[in-house]
Amino acid sequence: MSDLTRTLPAAVAEEFAVEQLRDCIGLVLEAARARGADAVEAGLHIESGLSVNVRLGEVDTLEYHRDKGLGVTVYHGTRKGSASTTDLSERALRETVQAACDIARYTAEDPCNGLAPAERMAREAPELDLYHPWEISNEEAIEQARATEAEALEFDPRITNSEGASLNSHSGLRLYGNSHGFLGGYASSRHSLNAAVIAEDASGMQRDYWYTVARDPRALETPATVGRTAAERALARLGASSMPTGPQPVIFEAGVARGLIGHFLRAINGNALYRRSSFLVDSLGETLFPDWMRIDERPHLRGALGSAPFDSEGVATAPRDIVSAGVLQGYVLDSYAACRLGMETTGNAGGTHNVFVAHQDMDRAALLREMGNGVLVTDLMGQGVNNVTGDYSRGAAGFRVENGVIAAPVEEITIAGNLRDMFAGIRNIASDLDTRGNIVTGSILVDGMTVAGD
């Protein structure tokens, strides 16, 4: 048996009682086989966290939670049944296995049902530095949230109200085992601090926010930085108005450019592809982006938010190019979608892991100068994206850019295009990388969009 949980640090193994959790997984796998299952897999998680929300200096909510749960999937031939429980007692685990087996009796046969290939299971667990629990008291958490909000409110008299500030700290352990003899697990943590405030002057009111997130609390921005940035962003939007309708180049600020790349990743996800509900069906090997573009996956970056040693099916993760020289090199596949497409899993059951978008050696100011005249989008609203056709139309706010510099804030506009055309129309990407998520990109300049305003 390949038991990667043996590589967990001793402190982690002791804190989460990993030996007992391994026994839970083992009991489930054995109980399923005893009930005639041809294959079985089980995932177990334990998570705990603290969340504090304050508004105008008063504590709005203070929550502490500790969750646990186990899910099991059994395969009787090509029939599949799944069940879950939050009770890890032996009786509950056996009843959960029985429920999954009962469900499998009534499901349709599907030749693609089953475990990921045994030869693709992770054989080693690289140390990814994902676990940094934060020993912060309730009082300290409240004080940090208050300090964040206070910094924003005191920054400028035009900051007249607050939607609040929040501190969140979460950590946990995930284990996965299957009847291939694989058992793996890793601990991780995630901490964040955010604030949202309202600015007001004679022109009206505007809202904006800022946040910081990291695996290690020592890597978070300070409360002063978060509060000050939230205030600055809200103030910059005062006096916003619409603008004339017409074709315009658009810069997606790094924080919202992540969403643009997210649309691409959803379009090449195997579940959309085998259902033929994506505008990028059969696009493997096509040139979708400019020839200098590269998009790659880096699952083993130490301390990164998207890092993982294996996916949710136990398949080893590995660095790879998704786009190289503008050409689509691979899809985003779990084992089921891969089977439906006649391909192999890419180790993406559960999603992608640290997607990086290549950028040029220029900051955002240089990108604005290259655009000349157009719109810098800092906020997007609505869900006007059709994954089947690629049609894109969303409400937006940001800034009008004239002669390479920000001229005035804008709001109540709509930006529209087709994602295939937008990808091909990327002119440049700045180096102002936003690392606060699984997708890392700088601000993206896209030509040929339609901006609808007045």
- For residue range 300-324, what is the model confidence (pLDDT) as tens digits? 999 999 999 999 999 999 999 999 9
Report pLDDT for 341. 98
Report pLDDT for 11. 85
* 268-277 residue pLDDT tens: 999 999 999 9
Q: What percent of the chain has pLDDT over 90?
A: 95
Residue range(s) occupied by CATH 3.30.2290.10 in the chain: 2-236
Q: If pLDDT is split at 50, 70 and 90, which confidence band does 2 have? A: confident
Report pLDDT for 6. 85
Report pLDDT for 195. 98
Report pLDDT for 161. 97
Rg over alpha carbons for the chain, rounded to the nearest Å, is 24
pLDDT at 426 over 70: yes
* 333-391 residue pLDDT tens: 999 999 999 999 999 999 999 999 999 999 999 999 999 999 999 999 988 999 999 99
Q: Is the whole model's pTM more than 0.85, yes or no?
A: yes
- Work out the average pLDDT over 60-87: 96
Domain 2-236: homologous superfamily in CATH: PmbA/TldD superfamily (3.30.2290.10)
pLDDT, averaged across the chain: 96
pLDDT at 1 over 90: no
